[in-house]
Amino acid sequence: MELNEEHAVFIANEIGAAVIDLIAQGMDVNRTNIAGILEGKRKIVGNTLYKGVLRDAAALVREK
């Protein structure tokens, strides 16, 4: 997956926010939970571009 720098920054911010959410909720920080937070957020946002960032972030987290 090729990313431009700005897109990469948005993805990093979303992954970081998901990690903070998991810690605040007392949940385990792992790939599955991070992707779950990102996918859940993607379902509730309305902005199409933002949905794309969240989709890409979840896909990146799932990659090995």
Write the pLDDT tens digit of every residue in 14-61.
999 999 999 999 999 999 999 999 999 999 999 999 999 999 999 999
Distances (CA, A) of 42 to 8, 35, 36: 17, 10, 10
Residue 64: which pLDDT band, with cuts at 50, 70 and 90? confident
pLDDT of residue 25: 97
The pTM of this model reads 0.89
Residue 35 tokens, joined: 């992707």
C-alpha–C-alpha distance, residues 58 and 33, integer Å: 10
CATH domain 5-63 topology: 1.20.5
